[in-house]
Every structure is written in C-alpha cells, then in structure tokens.
Amino acid sequence: MTKLETLGACREVGRSAFRLSNSEGDQVILDYGVSMKENNKDNFPGDVEPRKINAVICSHAHVDHSGALPYLYISSRPNCYMTATTRMLVKYLLDDMLNISGPTLPFEEIELRNLMKTVQVVNEFGKSVKIPGATGCSFTFHDAGHIPGSIMTVITMGGKNILYTGDLNTIDTRLQWAAKTNRFPLLDAVITESTYSQVTHPPRQETEQRFVTAVKDVLDRGGQVLIPAFGVARSQEILAVLQTIGSFHNKKIIIDGMARDISEDLLKHSDTLRTVYSMNRVTMVKTKKTREDRLKALETGDIIIAPSGMLKGGTARYYVENMIDDPDNAVFLVSYQVKGTPGQVLLDEHRYETEMDDDRGSSFNRGKNDTAKQKVEIKVKAQVERFDFSSHCDGPELLKFLKGLKFNPDTHDPKIYCVHGDPDSCDFLAKAIGEQIKGVAPVVPKFGEEFTI
Ligand SMILES: [Zn+2]
Ligand SMILES: [Zn+2]
C-alpha cells in the first residue's frame, strides 16, 4: 500500500511538501518549502521525523519548495536529491533567507551546511535512481522547464508510479526549454501544480517582441528603463531576451543585487540553458555596495535590472523612487504582481508610496526597528507597463499536459491531486479535469490529509 500525505501547498502557493510512504514504513519527502506570507504563522510545512526519511527530493530552488529543507538536517542526514543547478541556487537562496530572517527560522547556518553536504546530485533525466534502504523505491527526474535546474519526478513506491510536477512550464522560454513530457511510465497518481489554471498567457514571442520594442522606444527618447526582477531565472531571462532579440549592444545594462553572482554561476551550468546570455558589457552592482554606487548606476545606466519583482523591498525601490517622476523613463514589470504589493499599486493605480524621514531619506536600507516613518507619495510620471514572462504553464497548457498523461489501466479511478494554487485556481483546475479528462478523478486536498494510492 502506498500513502500520500499533504504537508503543505494545499489551496495555497507556498510550503510545498508531500510525504509518500509504503507498508514497510519507507518514506520519501517531495519538497520541503516555506510560505512567503507576511505573518509567521503556518509558514512551515507539516512536521516529519527526519530519522525515518529514506529520501528527500527537491524539485527546484525556489524557497516555496526548498526553504524548510535545512530543518530536516538538525538531528539526521536523510539522502537529499536534486540537480547540480538546483544545488547551486538553493545555497544562494537559503543563505539569503538566513541573512534576512535568520532569528525567526527554526534552523541555522550549520543545518544548511549539513544539507549541502548531504545533497546527492542527479543530472540525468529519464534514468531510474534506486533509493537506498527502501524496498522497491526509485525515482526518475524529468525536465520541468520552469527555472534552471527544475525537475518533475516520477516516484515508484509499492508498485505504484506517482508523478510530482513541482512547478512546470511546457513552452520554450528564452532561458529554458519546455518541459519534457513524453517519457513517463504508466501512472497511478499525479500531484500537479495549479498556479495559473485560470489564466491564459499571451504568446511568448509576442510578449518578447512587445517588450523589446517598448525598451527601445524609451531609450530612443532619452529615458531609462527599470526592470524589477527576482535574481533567479527572471533576471537572466530578461537579459537573454534583451541580448537575443534586442540590439542594445551600445547601451549600458546594469544588474543589481544577487542576480550578478547567480548570473555568472549559472553560466557554469550552461548545458541546462536554452540561451547562453553574455555577461560581457553588463555592469554589476554588488549586493552590499553603497548608496554611492547605486547613484552612479542611476546616473549612467540605460537599462537597470534589480530585485524585487513586485517592488516589495530590494534595491529596485531605490531606483523606482529616483526614476518615476520623469516621463521619459519607464518601469517595466516582468513578474506577477500580487494584490496590495507596491508593484500592483503602481501598475493599476499609478501610485507609489514610500516611507521617508528627515535624516535617512527613503525607507530603502532602513533597519526594522527604525521608527518615525512617514508615508510620502511620489508622483508617477514615468511609463509603467507589465509584460507576462511567466515561468509556469497557463490553464490551457496545463490541461493539455495532463490530458497527455497515460494512466495504469489496472488502477481503479486514478487521482490527480491539484495543489500549489490559490483555492480558486485549485478548484478551477479540478473542475476542468473532471469535465475534460476521462477515467481520472481530480482531488483538491487539504493540509494534512492522507490518501491511499
Ligand atoms: Zn517555482
Ligand atoms: Zn512554487
């Protein structure tokens, strides 16, 4: 008998974590991430006993899939499997998480080091890997097309094949090839993401073309472009688009923050990239550089890529505050904008608020305990637009992918578990599966539920 237990990512995007177990008591953990919600409650996945785990599989480096992994390495050393690229990115992202939220986390740097030492790199797709010490348990990785290093995995346990998609993209993007979806065995169950089940993305090439034309228009009129983007994948995707489709060779492109080091390290894993971008002629501002360096970047840069994608913290705020009162400039948002974030307010309401005080200037770089904040609205005169560079399947693509899967004819009523989406997106996907895919049953699980596969 094979059991699935949901430890997170149920009717939410965040803290992806699932446990598979068999009658012999073998256990496999699929992802162990954190939630990025503001409050500190429910930010971690359901508890497990690390010494009972035979294997941990990490689908990709985003912290909603990897952020709680070190917690499993406090008292034990379960085998942890991921690609080499994911390993490199996990180190960056969890180091950064420890720097920012260290005291609030239930683990420290030593546990991250223990995790890193325990990681077993698997780079080959489609090759079965046996899990030591677990009876008849193995897994295979398949390219998920989501970000560099991302995988889907098929776990074989108790004679059943379970596909876990992690985060998934089935179309080519500039940086990544589409997910490889044609090498799965007959399946008994699927755990699928549901993030954008209700969305239809515009055709990618159109978005790229529209974006490059818009950047060119701004530069032609003597303005500067700020592109707020997360340091992993999106920054490099934008760089690759600018270098491949645009002709901005004589323009000064600046990358601020963690993206700099990641961009250079990703090039060491260039076999996982569809487009190998170039770091020549790209100017960097290091994470810990001072305000003067940013001022220089602001004075000389034509195109500035800086975190965070939704203008919620990160150095992009410094640039936006100094750029948006000029109508020649532009802020091009390239990430999804969650409701209530400064990016969404800027885009939809054309408003930008910052916190100022007399001696320190804007809220940028201010310590958490500083008081005397005063909200100041900065007039938005710059062009503000959003371009959909999503790294997830949209609804139609997700359904096409699920329709293409082949299920084991001997399994009665195989299930597709819809996770990793807000409640409406999970329900929407489940309804569509119910209506359009014969012979399978959709399930929208709740946190902490148990199912027999
Ligand atoms: Zn992701
Ligand atoms: Zn995710």
Looking at the structure, tell me whether residues 223 and 355 fall in a common domain. Answer: yes
Compute the distance from residue 451 Cα to the ligand 2 centre, in Å: 22
In terms of domains, do 38 and 141 share one? yes
**Res 290: pLDDT:** 72
Residue 363: what pLDDT? 47
164 and 83, same domain (yes or no):
yes
Residues 23 and 123 in one domain: yes
| pLDDT at residue 285, rounded to an integer | 78
Indicate the DSSP class of residue 319: H
Residues 288 and 379 in one domain: yes
pLDDT score of 287: 60
| pLDDT, tens digit (0-9, with 9 covering 90-100), for 40-79 | 667 899 999 999 999 999 999 999 999 999 999 999 999 9
Do 59 and 107 belong to one domain? yes
Query: CA-to-CA distance for 266 and 88, rounded, in angstroms?
Result: 8
Q: Which of 338, 365, 386 is the last residue of a domain?
A: 386
Q: At what angle do helices 109-118 and 84-101 cross, to 10 degrees?
A: 170
Q: Return the pLDDT at 261.
A: 85
Ligand located closest to 145 CA: 1
pTM of the model: 0.92
Domain termination residue (choose one: 386, 418, 439):
386
Residue 361 and residue 214 share a domain:
yes
Residue 64 alpha carbon to ligand 2 centre in Å: 5
> What's the CA-to-centroid distance between 262 and ligand 2, angstroms?
19
Low-confidence ranges of the chain (pLDDT < 70): 38-41, 286-289, 356-373
Give the distance (Å) from ligand 2 centre to CA of residue 14. Answer: 7
pLDDT the model gives residue 105: 87
Domain co-membership, 365 together with 406: no
Distance (Å, whole) CA 423 – CA 98: 30
365 and 243 housed in the same domain:
yes
Closest ligand to the CA of 65: 2
User: Residue 158 — left, alpha, or beta (φ > 0 → left; ψ -120 to 50 → alpha)?
Assistant: left
pLDDT of residue 356: 65
The CATH number of residue 271's host domain is 3.40.50.10890
CB 391 within 8 A of CB 408: no
For ligand 1, the distance from its centroid to the CA atom of residue 260, given in whole angstroms, is: 20
Could you tell me the residue range of the domain that residue 140 belongs to?
2-199+391-452
Same domain, 275 and 355: yes
At residue 171, the 3 state secondary structure works out as coil
Name the closest ligand to CA 194. 2
| Domain edge (last residue) among 341, 369, 386 | 386
Cβ atoms within 10 Å, residue 321: 19
Q: What is the pLDDT of residue 373?
A: 65
- Which ligand is in closest contact with the Cα of 151? 1
pLDDT at 394: 97
Q: How far apart are CA 109 and CA 97, in angstroms?
A: 10
CATH number, domain with residue 93: 3.60.15.10
Specify the 3-state DSSP secondary structure of 268.
Answer: helix
Q: What is the pLDDT of residue 426?
A: 97
The ligand placed nearest to the CA atom of residue 233 is: 1
- Give the total number of structural domains in the chain: 2
Q: How far is the CA of 171 from the centre of ligand 2 (A)?
A: 17
Q: Are residues 101 and 35 in the same domain?
A: yes
Same domain, yes or no: 208 and 195: no
